[in-house]
Structure 1
Amino acid sequence: MKVGIDILGGDFAPDANLSGAVLAKNELPSDTTLVLIGDKDQIFSGLSALGANPDDFEIVHAPDVITMHDHPTRAIPQKPNSSIAVGFDLLANKQIDVFASTGNTGAMLVGAIYKVNTIPGIIRPCITSVLPSIDGTQAILLDVGANADCKPDVLYQFAVVGSLYSKHVYGIENPRVALLSIGEEESKGNLLTVATHKLLAESDDLNFVGNIEGRDLFLGKADVVVCDGFTGNIVLKQAEGLYGLLRKRGVKDDEYFNRFNYENYGGTPVLGVKGNVIIGHGISNDIAVKNMIKHAYEVASSGLSAKINEAFN
């Protein structure tokens, strides 16, 4: 398997990305090839500084950078030699099995949709986040920012792709799906959640367990939690903020709250596109990059994209 890594994306590039790649190389199966995409000179000098052998990696020269300030829809065509654009070219041409980046999230979403293409039948691709549960399990929340405005049929599809992700990557045979709302009753919520509840409740393809309230998100009541990207992004940022406050208050050795650290998860797949695309946090350090690469390997190994395509076609 070939895992493509954007070496120039993120706040701490290229150092954190190269260090994370070296760490991941030591933990992945020996038949895995890490393809480092970025400025060739920076990659060689960075690997040398880390004491790593460049021959252990495949290196693809892509000297330009899509920054966090570049416009997502214009960046890829304007910078065809950027690490993100080259990475998507490699993925689209099946020269790599999965492409991972901590770079410009908007550009990654645009590249996933227009370079790799959306799976037929998918209305809108989405991204996820992990919700650590107090019982030791974890749930996935989707969408968390790709789609601020949604309609009921879009949320229904989030439930389907979320269930497939939970089943094939996390090994949960019959994932419990819940809808995030302001009350457990099916009549509670806004027009979107009430209409979505009806669609989910009538489905024979999902293990729908009803509405879930914000206070129950971390109690292990569901394996997949569905919401629009506006709401999901607020939940995600609130959880990150709470973790930061706990650290500032000296809570640093709590086994449960340590699971809120984004470094543990590394990245999230773009669900609903024809290829395997993983987006990491822009502030990722080497540990987060390592875990992003490992998750990229897991997603590609599971054949998740192909299984979603099969489900919708």
Structure 2
Amino acid sequence: MLAGRGPVIAVAEAAGWAVRYAAYDPETGTGVELPPAARVPATLDTPFDLASLTKLFTSVAAVQQIERGTLGMDARVGDYLPDFHAAAAHGVTVRQLLTHTSGLRPELPLYDCPDDATRLDLLRAEAPSAGPGRYLYSDLNMLLLQFVLERITGRTLDVLVRDGITRPLGMTATAFGPCPGAAATEDQRRPWAKADRGMLRGVVHDENAWALGGVAGHAGLFSTAPDLAVFCRTLLAGGSYGPARILGPDFVELLFTPPGLGFALDQPWFMGELAGRGAAGHTGFTGTSLVLDPDTDTFLVLLANTVHPRRRHPDNVPRATLATHLAKAVI
């Protein structure tokens, strides 16, 4: 957990285990613990699977292209991806992808497809399941945005994130996997998971991101708390950090303008009492979250591997509680 205000890191603490279990035992409903000597403690430098915090980096990469004039906010996806015929036929726009208002359903079973061609065919044929303008959170929005960015730039998403965000900011611990030293996630097996992959460490947890080779618009990045602090400080400072600038202030403001581009705004369920005055952030399925409060120039990073050794019903109380503590601490 890391919290800061402006250029100051106020609190940075690590607790628990990056690796504690060898497997999950479905008969007893408990994890099979490693011997104490084989466990790996979590430290401030432990990389974690960011899960859906990846969406924030995809969104920033998209707004970078909007700032450069190579991507239109209200342009139709079909203008860039005519082969994605279902989205093109329904007039899905870039803005709808960024705001989760395209109507696309939450996900597709890409992990069950036999090859990349079949996965691509499935995405191309996927039409919105709800009317445009209605909020429906969907990983598919960021996947389509990834394809748009890759089509207009001629570069893959991992290169766009590296060259446009992490390298200029000196975020050397942030990258798409594999990441061998990362905290372990899940003993991923059916029926509780969607694929049979065993205990995961250093490879993306999300099954669809895994099926896509580990680089996806919705999941796949690994990072540390200090690196994410740099990302937070950059956005709160209007897009610059030291000599580097990744966005202009007006375009950072665009990210945080309701309803938010990629970023969720003022959500008490994970932002606690930081919500209600323009706070922005996101959560990740593996147990991660990030909150920025432009009003007080504060930020909060929480990285956890709560799916280790097996996914469970999400508990957002720790996220909201930490955010409320930070809100009360800021004068």
**Normalising by structure 1, what TM-score?**
0.25
Determine which structure has the larger helix proportion and give its number.
1
